[in-house]
Amino acid sequence: MDFGSSRALLLACIVVLVESRYFNMENAADGHMRKHHAHDVKHHVKRSKFMETDYVGIDQHGQAYVNCTYNMDGVVGVRKCSMPAADAAFDMGFACFALWNGEGEIIAQDCWIHQELSLEQCQKNRCTQSTGYGSVNFCCCFGHECNGKLDL
């Protein structure tokens, strides 16, 4: 396995591990494939600069969400991604992300729900590659379906 393939596999494993720690996978057809596990720890979720209404929607329950382009394992569509409930155990935020190879072919697109500190690299309304990192590239962005078209 060459360095680029090893790096792609490592990055994909990191994404899966992060997501599997916090979420259950459900039916891809319903558009709400992930739900947050309930935690015993009570924690006030602050509304950050990442939760500005220009980049997210607010549902009928007052919960913020974003629609992200979804492309994994041959399933393509749009997914409604929302924050964990107000009693979430971590200071989390959300964005959309894209992962692609050196030829510009999409490897994965989905929601990026992570600690807010990790989201500081994300762009507003577009998914842009800031610098070349080799055979696997990552970007994240704020705004509905902002990860649907990559600015390479």
* Residue 130, domain extent: 3-151
DSSP secondary-structure letter at 129? -
Is the confidence at residue 131, as pLDDT, over 70? no
CATH of the domain at 87: 2.10.60.10
Instruction: Give yes or no for residue 112 having a pLDDT over 80.
Output: yes
Cβ atoms of 151 and 127 within 8 Å: the answer is yes
The total number of structural domains in the chain stands at: 1
Answer whether residue 97 shows pLDDT above 60: yes
8/71: higher pLDDT? 71
State if pTM tops 0.85.
no
- Give the Cβ contact number of residue 109 at 10 Å: 25
Give the sign of the dihedral formed by CA 83, CA 28, CA 123, CA 100: positive
Average confidence (pLDDT) over 30-42: 38
